[in-house]
Structures are given as C-alpha cells and as structure tokens.
Structure 1
Amino acid sequence: MTRTDSPGPAPFDIAVVGLGILGVRHITAETTDVIRRCSRVFLVDATFGVEEHLRTLNPNVTSLLHLYGLGKPRLGSYQSMAAAVVSAAVEESPVCFATYGHPQMYCHPTALIRNAGKLLGLRVDVLAGVSSLDTLLIDVGYDISAHGLQIYDATDIVLRQRPLQNDVACVLWQTTTFADPTFRLAVPDAERLSRLRDHLLRFYPPEHRVFVVFSRTHPALEPVVTGHRLSHLAEALSSGPQSGTLFIPPVHSRPATDSQIIEVLRDAYQDGP
C-alpha cells in the first residue's frame, strides 16, 4: 500500500501506530500525520503527557485503558480493544489505534485488527514505532552485530522448554507476568518465578549476572538497570516493580572455526581499503 502526504482520502481505513517509549518525544512525524487525518483515535498508553498531546493533533481521542480489569484475562481485553477500533472504522473511517511502544511487539490487538480487516474488506496500515528493544540496547550498551541476540517470551521458553545459547546475549520479555494470562498490578511470587530461574540455570551458571531493565518514559527520568545473580532472580523479580525486561549477557564468546572465511577476513584486513 502506498501512503501519500497529499490532501484527499486516506489510503487506509484503520491505521495502527506505535507511540514509542519516551512519551511525546518518541512520536514520529509519520504517526503525527496519520493521527491528524483520522476521524477518531483509540489510545492504549498511560505515559505522562501523551494523551494530552494527541488531543492537540486530533480532538477525538478515546482511551481504551479502562478495558483492562484486575484478574481479567488479558486476551479478553485485547479483543474488546480491537472490536472498538474495527466497529468505529466500519462507521466512520479512517480511524487510528495508537499504542505504547511498537505495534508489532507484544501488541495482540494489532493482529486482531488485521485479521478483522481482511474479513471485512478494511484497509489496515501499520506504522513502526520506537520499541522497548530499541531503548534496551541503548540502556545496556549492547551492539548485536558482534555476537547476535536471542529474544524470547519468558513464559514461552519454559512452556516449550526452549534451549538457549549461552554464548549469545538473550532478552526475555514479560518476566513479571510469567505463567499468568490475567491483568494484575502485582508481580508473581518467588515460587512461581523459580520455574523461570530453574530453566535458565540449565544454560547459565548460578553466579552469572543478569540485568532487569526499565527504560525511561520521561526526559527527566533515567533508565534503571539492576544486576542480579541468576540464582537470586526469582526473589529479585518478585520484590521489584510490576514490569521489566531481562537482559542476559553471554557467558563466553564462541570461537571462529571456519578457516576459509577466516582467511578471507584476514586478507581483507591486511590489504586495507
């Protein structure tokens, strides 16, 4: 689908946009243009100042945060969010669904909206936003080009007994909602989180240092990166804030073993530019 900045009908019925992590400062020019041309904006973001800013771009902003309920399955909330957006698009397109972070990273309403759009013949356009992975790499100072990166959901690695490579850095999402499909304001207790810790101990030594990362959500704040021994992870997560992403540095570096590629690289460096 080709987007256009010229006046006229929007090239979509539903736009799904990501608002980034750092509040208003992460909202892209592309997202701003889309929000301005929509009849309604549905918002899932509690970051300070974001809703007020969006209302300066479009007065018809509706927060969907009330659809979360304590102890309520998150899937039901996501379905209600998607239904509200799609229903509005049928009546008065174009509309916008605006969410915290990146709309294709831990944002199930995006998939639901896309699927409904196909069934109803609605044009759905998804725009990228700054993700929590982008900010995490800055917060921990890690460049993926040297040794790569493995990324998993915390519940999924235990559910599927996924193996991990301890020579590659690892990012685990949703650690404090481990094995819990409901919306809660409290983290699981250490007993439940011990299953996640025990799975990680199959691949990493107990003394290996891992980091819980909270990227800043306001310019006046600083990111919070706290280190813990892996053996103490369950207790650390259960006594900390309700959210956070786990970064596990590699234990060691895997040696290069392909002699042909080694020779090619050595010759290139010796010959120079």
Structure 2
Amino acid sequence: MGLAQPERCAHDGGPCGVHRRQKLPQSGGSQMSHRCTATATEPHGAIRPHSVRCEVCVSGSLTIVGLGPARPEHLTQEAVQALQAAVADPHSWRVYGLAHARALAEAIAPGLQIRSLDYLYGLTGVDRPLAYADLAEMLTRRAFSDGHHVLYLVAGSPLFYNDAVLAIRRRAAAQEQAIRLIHGMAFLDLVLDRVYWTGHSGLALWSAWNVAFDGVALDVGAPTLLVQLGEFGSSGDALNEDRSPEMLGKLRDRLRRQYPADHPVLVLYSSGPPEYRSEGRRIELSALADQPVPVYSNLWVPSIGGPDLEATLAAPSVRRMVDPLSEVLS
C-alpha cells in the first residue's frame, strides 16, 4: 500500500501550520497513522497515532499538585499559585481530582472548575491497578496528545502511597514526556503528631493491605505504621467507613500471629471538615475490628519490648497560638 497524498495538519491554526501529515499503514492492521512532516528548516517526521497531534503542534502540560493532608494552611505557595492560574484561565486548564481534593481546592480557589474522578472507586469488576492505569492514560493523553494544560489534584504528598501518581509518572516517562510535581505536606506529619516516636529502633511503614492480604510479616522489634485502614472504601470519600470492618478484621487476625491479643495499638485518623482535627484512640489489638474507621485512617503498632512512651497516645498539638494580650483585651 503506497503513501497517500499529504494532507494539511489538522492544527493549521497553531504555530506549526507549515506541517503536513501523511497516512501510513500500520503493521498488522488497517488502522492508519499520521507522519507529520515539516519544511527543510523544521525537520520533524515523528510518527503519531491517528488521534494524536504531532509534537510541534502540542503545547500541553501535566502538573500533579499535592494539596497537603487537609487544611488550607498546609498548602504551599506553589500549589496555591497553580490553582489560581487555573481559575484565571479556565479554557486552557483541565483540572481533575477526587472528592476530598476537590473540596480543599475549591475552598482555596473559588470558581475552580474540577472534573470529578470519583468514578474510579465505583467501577464494578475493575481493580485499582487497572483503574489507575486508565487514569494515567487519560491524563497523559489530555496533556500530551490533546494539548491541554492538566492539573491533577491529590491529597497529601504526590509521592507518598499514591499508586495513581506512580502510574502517571511511569507512563509519562515511557513517552519521554516531562511532568511537573508540586510537592505537598505528607499525612505522616499529622500522624506523628499523636504518637511519641523515639526513633531508637527505626520505623516500618506498610500499607494495611500488605499485611492483611499480602502476608507481610512485621518486625516486632520496631514500631510500625500501617496506612489506609479503610482501603475497601469505594466512594472516593475520605471519611467513608462502610467497608472498613472487613479490612480491620483481616488485619487483626494477621497481626495476632505476631502480637498478643492485649498488645496496645493506636488508631489515628482525621475528624474531617471543617476542623480536620487529628483524632486517635488507644485500644487492644483484639478490639481492632470493633469500630469502623475512615478510609485514610492509620494504625500505629508499637514494638514488643519497646519503650512505654511509644505506646502512649499523645495529645494533639495546638493549631494556632493564642495572643495573651488579645485574650485580656477581649
């Protein structure tokens, strides 16, 4: 099959109106690809799928924004500026986020148009890895093929226990596309606010799923933080508790193989909007499944034989300093 006559690039209105595209047969099928060709002064010639713009045509970007654990004061100035830029130019930006990320971003940047991704947690018969792979494909396509400026909003830090971000980074790297990461305060800071971690015997960090379902054995000689106790939640709501007992029951039974029934553990979680207080309770391991917990709850498992201090629930820190003079004047 020979080459068809060159056609004008579909994006002649853009900066690369001199480009042409040629139809080429794809090996093993009847679908067509486009080869963008340029003038002698602008060599290009990259092959792209039919639905994808050529490299010179595309001026999109992909930015992953870490919003911090929950409260507006935890956002970095860089994150706030990114949100404000999207509000100022809504036609150029496409913003995506889950429920908890949307609520925080909308409070910081009123008028921000955010596309919901809550459907990811309600796809029947679709496991999380497949859903995250689909999300990564969609966001990279919107940015690098369709030429949009894309903001993907995530709670906490983009690099802390976020499989979706990991999938996006790997896909962008495979396409040799650069993405921007705006780092955010990790949830770990708020978790450690309610415990006394000495650091003398280290710290293990695992997903609750790793222990409950993957059979990971813990080092009982060091404290362990298990994250995302409510992993079975399916609504995208960070405070959803409906299915956490299933995880808690399996986790309790697995931990009982290494720890005594009366071993103290600390359940750490957020109160949710508007205060987002750091909440916690100290219970025996045997009672772990007696009360449901929000999706993003964490479990602090003190070491066996370690200092009693590390098994103590710390009082929450004060959020704002009080000016004694203002108290007197009021």
TM-score under structure 2 length normalisation: 0.62
- After superposition, the Cα gap between the structure-2 partners of 1:137 and 1:84, relative to the gap in structure 1 and judged at 3 Å, is same
Q: Which residue of 2 aligns with 1:125?
A: 180
- Answering whether residue 201 of structure 2 is matched by residue 150 of structure 1, we say no
Q: Which residue of 2 aligns with 1:30?
A: 78
Q: Which residue of 2 aligns with 1:106?
A: 161
Matches within 5 A, 1:178-217: 183=234, 186-189=242-245, 193-217=248-272
SS of structure 1 residue aligned to 2:230:
helix
Structure 2 unaligned residues grouped into runs of 5+: 1-58, 87-92, 308-330
- For the 8 Å contact 1:40–1:96, the answer to whether it is kept is yes
Q: Could you report, residue by residue, the CA deviation over 1:40-78 in whole angstroms, capped at 9, with x for unpaired residues?
A: 32222425842323544x844323224431655333442
Match of 1:222 among 277, 284, 294: 277
- For the 8 Å contact 1:47–1:217, the answer to whether it is kept is no
Q: Which amino acid aligns with 2:234?
A: F
CA distance in 2, matches of 1:109, 1:223: 25
SS of structure 2 residue aligned to 1:68:
helix
Q: Which residue of 1 aligns with 2:189?
A: 134
Q: Could you report, residue by residue, the CA deviation over 1:226-255 in whole angstroms, capped at 9, with x for unpaired residues?
A: 12111122333xx4445411111223239x
- After superposition, the Cα gap between the structure-2 partners of 1:232 and 1:118, relative to the gap in structure 1 and judged at 3 Å, is same
Once the two structures are aligned, what percentage of the paired residues are identical?
25
CA distance in 1, matches of 2:206, 2:189: 15
CA distance in 2, matches of 1:144, 1:126: 31
Q: Which residue of 2 aligns with 1:3?
A: none
Q: Which residue of 2 aligns with 1:168?
A: 222
Kindly state the Cα deviation for residue 37 of structure 1 after the two structures are TM-superposed. Answer: 4.5
Q: Which residue of 2 aligns with 1:62?
A: 115
CA distance in 2, matches of 1:12, 1:137: 39
- After superposition, the Cα gap between the structure-2 partners of 1:80 and 1:53, relative to the gap in structure 1 and judged at 3 Å, is farther
- For the 8 Å contact 2:84–2:109, the answer to whether it is kept is no
Q: Which amino acid aligns with 2:185?
A: V
State the structure with bigger RCO (CA 8 A, min sep 6), 1 or 2. Answer: 1
CA distance in 1, matches of 2:101, 2:61: 26
- For the 8 Å contact 2:64–2:181, the answer to whether it is kept is yes
Matches within 5 A, 1:245-256: 245-253=298-306
- For the 8 Å contact 2:70–2:155, the answer to whether it is kept is no
Kindly state the Cα deviation for residue 18 of structure 1 after the two structures are TM-superposed. Answer: 0.9
Q: Which amino acid aligns with 2:117?
A: L
Q: Could you report, residue by residue, the CA deviation over 1:85-114 in whole angstroms, capped at 9, with x for unpaired residues?
A: 212212234322111111122322212211
TM-score under structure 1 length normalisation: 0.73
- For the 8 Å contact 2:95–2:153, the answer to whether it is kept is yes
- For the 8 Å contact 1:187–1:241, the answer to whether it is kept is no
- Answering whether residue 292 of structure 2 is matched by residue 244 of structure 1, we say no
CA distance in 2, matches of 1:193, 1:139: 20
- For the 8 Å contact 1:212–1:245, the answer to whether it is kept is yes
SS of structure 2 residue aligned to 1:198:
helix
SS of structure 2 residue aligned to 1:104:
coil
Kindly state the Cα deviation for residue 132 of structure 1 after the two structures are TM-superposed. Answer: 1.7
Kindly state the Cα deviation for residue 124 of structure 1 after the two structures are TM-superposed. Answer: 1.1
Q: Aligned pairs, how many?
A: 236
SS of structure 2 residue aligned to 1:197:
helix
- For the 8 Å contact 1:17–1:96, the answer to whether it is kept is yes
- Answering whether residue 40 of structure 2 is matched by residue 40 of structure 1, we say no
Kindly state the Cα deviation for residue 213 of structure 1 after the two structures are TM-superposed. Answer: 0.7
Q: Which amino acid aligns with 1:31?
A: A
SS of structure 1 residue aligned to 2:100:
coil
SS of structure 2 residue aligned to 1:139:
coil
Q: Which residue of 1 aligns with 2:11?
A: none
Q: Which amino acid aligns with 2:305?
A: H
Kindly state the Cα deviation for residue 217 of structure 1 after the two structures are TM-superposed. Answer: 4.3
